[in-house]
Structure 1
Amino acid sequence: MVVIFAYTELLLLAVADVCLSYRQARFSYLKVKYLFFTWLAVFISSWVVYVQYSSYTELCRGHECKSTIWAHESTNPPQCLCQCDKYRKGVIDGSACSSLCDKDTLYLGKCLSTKSNNQVYSGSWGDLEGVIKCQMGDVLHYVLGAEMEPRKEAALFDKPTKGTSVEKFKEMVFSHLKAKVGEQANLVDLASLVLSVADGNKDGHISLPEAKSAWALLQLNEVLLMIILQDKEHTPKLLGFCGDLYVTEKVQYTSLYGVSVPWLMELWIPSGVRRSMDQWFTPSWPRKAKISIGLLEFVEDVFHGTFGNFLMCDVSAANFGYNDKHDLKMVDMRRIVPEASLREAMRDRRCEADEDCVYGTDCRTSCDLTKRRCTPEVIQPNLAKACLALRDYLLRGAPSEIREELEKQLYSCMALKGTTDQMEMEHSLILNNLKTLLWKKISYTKDS
């Protein structure tokens, strides 16, 4: 009996020892597993932070707007010149230079850049809120191409040259405008508008530094359009400039609809869910109708206006915003180009198929297969592209009593083709009918 109890005690001790060893082994395994996943989480988090920081530092180089311009000499390596040094040495000048360089009252706030060579910041200029834009490392001269990026060339503010008279500068401006917007009877008036903007200090004279700054900015489609449409309701005001940096009116809401999410989350959201999310975060329907009327009015502003016809080559929601009164305001007009410039560029472009004849995302012509050249005429007018952008925006939540008619008019609008005189009459009729339908529905609401 004693032997049995002794054996049992030994057996229990052995089992207890095995259990203890198992627990220790399992604890060690769990510890190693925990440490591994902790290390993995730290590694992934660090990688995400690094990628975000790298992306931010690449996209957001606002300090360089103030301190750096790359000057490329044909015989010398790139050298870094201070923009404020250029101002103080009398190379450039403008209405914002003193605030930027002397008074330090031009403040760059939140980075809004989407491309590293086009810096965009919200900011303030004294008591004014605005948006500050400047170009990085590229000449301020746009070449029509698929990517719509500035050409990589020197940006030396070398025109006009020393000794150029005011009359000669006027001739330069006139010739440039003629090339951009085409031959027109009122080019003299447009040149006068440009010269009035070039006079940054409003002393009635254009100095050589002011002329250099104005000439550089005049190469940009957005600045040219701001000058042309400076009295129009839906165009942000050009508040001031210094060299290749310019300040515009701030737009409170910077997209027609949608909600911003971190880029990492964006990768995992299905496109269908993303479109639904965009529609969830929109104003009430009467307010959407008012914003849409503003877009239609902007189409009128750029369609055969006083200084020619301009083509909207990227009609996406991110380019349109609105203020607290739900009046449409343009956010980005870099991809709105003079029709004359587009026609000339397309005429010289070689092609094998229609897909080769695209400028931006929305300006398309066809390929003449006999000549292997793009035709100069755009396939769709601005109005058709605007209606496509507004279709889902307006139809969601539309009052039942006008939904069928609204849908019919939007689809008729989207079907517009060509640029003939007959199309222009149809264009005006559809645009007016659509505006009338929307105004009639919201004219007695508080949102109107």
Structure 2
Amino acid sequence: MARAPVPWGVLRKPLYVQARILHMKYLFFSWLAVFVGSWIVYVEYSSYTELCRGHDCKNYICDRYRKGVIDGSACSSLCEKDTLYLGKCFTAKPNSQVYSGSWADLDAVIKCQLDDERTAAFHTPPKGTSVETFREMIYNHLKAKVGDQADLSDLATQVLSIADANRDGHISLPEARSTWALLQLNEFLLALVLQDREHTPKLLGFCGDLYIMEKIPYTPLYGITLPWILEVWIPTGLRRRMDQWFTPSWPHKAKISIGLLELVEDVFHGNFGSFLMCDVSAGTFGYNERHDFKVIDARYIVPENSFQESIRQQRCDNDEDCVYGADCVTSCDLTKHRCTTDTARPNLAKACEALKDYILRGVPSDVREELEKQLYACIALKGNTEQMEIEHSLILNNLKTLLWKKISHTKDS
């Protein structure tokens, strides 16, 4: 007996139900993606508006300029002519605003401070202060920062030269107050100390404690800049590997690395005392078209003298309380609950740590073994050994010689 044909609707119904379920899943995950994406955009936008306050910075500076409190070479361009433009925000902390931008036809980096001590800085020196008294104030400030160095008088004279922003041979009270505010900043002080070297960007101008620096085209020292939406989803391990992929050729990396080693040399017992490098990360350094090494963020390169004065006043319960920046670590004296003044690692050890993966990737085979040996000896340096200075100089010279020898015959040098 023949079977009756199965109605088409009976077969079609399960397929229809499955399609409906798939459609519902698609809608659910689509809405979930929209929700998560919107949340990320909201969080990032909120962070951006909280961090990036260039408008507030400009309003504050220009208000003080119009009132005659401050003056400088960039004030008119910022507040009257609108030829100083604040572009992309690179601010990492709300009280230290950083922007790329332009000043007339110059590409520049504009930096501005927003903190509670700012107003007080613009009240010094007081009205009626003579140029000689101001010079003495500068000298004593520099002495407190870097110690009693032989060339402090020359450095104070250089500061006075910068203070005369309009080059009329006269330092006005607003110009003096702007210069005094800038002197409180570690980055400005380092730019003064190393102005005859090529490792720091040039100071182009200032207005109050807003200052304009030469823009360094390649930053950070290595890696690739990605849109923030991609940064959120890329695992840390993969991100580190990607950073290593996007680096210059090895001879160029060698030249850049020599620049960092030369910076360490310059700030270690230099003409104006020793400086501590308290953030030796790729994001604080860069290089130009000729692969000359440049410091792009010197806020955490601090005079050792002032670091010691500050850290010894810091209360602590353990060693983790005795940290400045990312890399300057001392120990806690539990009998006094105060931080000690000797850092655990010298600048050179921290620089070698930062360079290790960078310079060993792609290194020619004939220098790899020796370079690894020197780098690991460098990383092992301690900051409080009696022989540290001798070992420091020996390893520094060995590393520079090894790298120069390998690239000196090439056009990259």
Relative to the length of structure 2, the TM-score reads: 0.92
Larger radius of gyration: 1
Deviation string, structure 1 residues 271-294 (Cα, Å, up to 9, x no partner): 332222121111111110000000
- Which residue does the alignment assign to 1:359? 324
AA aligned opposite 2:194: L
- Which residue does the alignment assign to 1:102? 80
Question: What's the offset of the Cα at 1:187?
Answer: 2.1
Q: Secondary structure at the match of 2:262?
A: helix
AA aligned opposite 1:88: R
Note closer, same or farther for the CA distance 1:421–1:235 as it changes in structure 2 (3 Å cut). farther
Question: What's the offset of the Cα at 1:184?
Answer: 2.4
AA aligned opposite 2:77: S
Q: Secondary structure at the match of 1:110?
A: strand
**Unaligned 5+ runs, structure 1:** 70-82, 141-153
Larger CA deviation: 266-275 vs 425-434:
266-275
Which of 395, 398, 405 does residue 360 from structure 2 map onto?
395
- Which residue does the alignment assign to 2:337? 372
- Which residue does the alignment assign to 2:41? 49
Aligned ranges 1:229-244 → 2 under 5 Å: 229-244=194-209
Deviation string, structure 1 residues 100-123 (Cα, Å, up to 9, x no partner): 112211111222212222111111
Distance (Å, rounded) in 2 between the aligned partners of 1:325 and 1:20 = 70
AA aligned opposite 2:213: T
Distance (Å, rounded) in 2 between the aligned partners of 1:184 and 1:310 = 13
Is 1:185–2:150 an aligned residue pair? yes
Note closer, same or farther for the CA distance 1:246–1:24 as it changes in structure 2 (3 Å cut). same
Distance (Å, rounded) in 2 between the aligned partners of 1:438 and 1:37 = 54
Aligned residue pairs total 413
Aligned ranges 1:410-425 → 2 under 5 Å: 410-418=375-383, 422-425=387-390
Relative to the length of structure 1, the TM-score reads: 0.85
- Kept in 2, the 8 Å contact 1:226–1:237? The answer is yes
- Which residue does the alignment assign to 1:151? none
Distance (Å, rounded) in 1 between the aligned partners of 2:39 and 2:334 = 50
Which of 67, 77, 81 does residue 89 from structure 1 map onto?
67
AA aligned opposite 1:337: V
Question: What's the offset of the Cα at 1:334?
Answer: 0.3
- Kept in 1, the 8 Å contact 2:121–2:181? The answer is no
- Kept in 2, the 8 Å contact 1:227–1:238? The answer is no
- Kept in 1, the 8 Å contact 2:149–2:271? The answer is no
Q: Secondary structure at the match of 2:101?
A: strand
Question: What's the offset of the Cα at 1:49?
Answer: 2.3
Q: Secondary structure at the match of 2:140?
A: helix
Question: What's the offset of the Cα at 1:23?
Answer: 7.0
Note closer, same or farther for the CA distance 1:64–1:350 as it changes in structure 2 (3 Å cut). closer
Question: What's the offset of the Cα at 1:28?
Answer: 5.7
Is 1:386–2:351 an aligned residue pair? yes
Question: What's the offset of the Cα at 1:264?
Answer: 4.4
Distance (Å, rounded) in 1 between the aligned partners of 2:390 and 2:70 = 47
Identity %: 70
Question: What's the offset of the Cα at 1:361?
Answer: 1.4
Question: What's the offset of the Cα at 1:266?
Answer: 3.2
- Give me the CA root mean square deviation: 2.4
Note closer, same or farther for the CA distance 1:417–1:103 as it changes in structure 2 (3 Å cut). same
AA aligned opposite 1:61: R
Q: Secondary structure at the match of 2:297?
A: coil
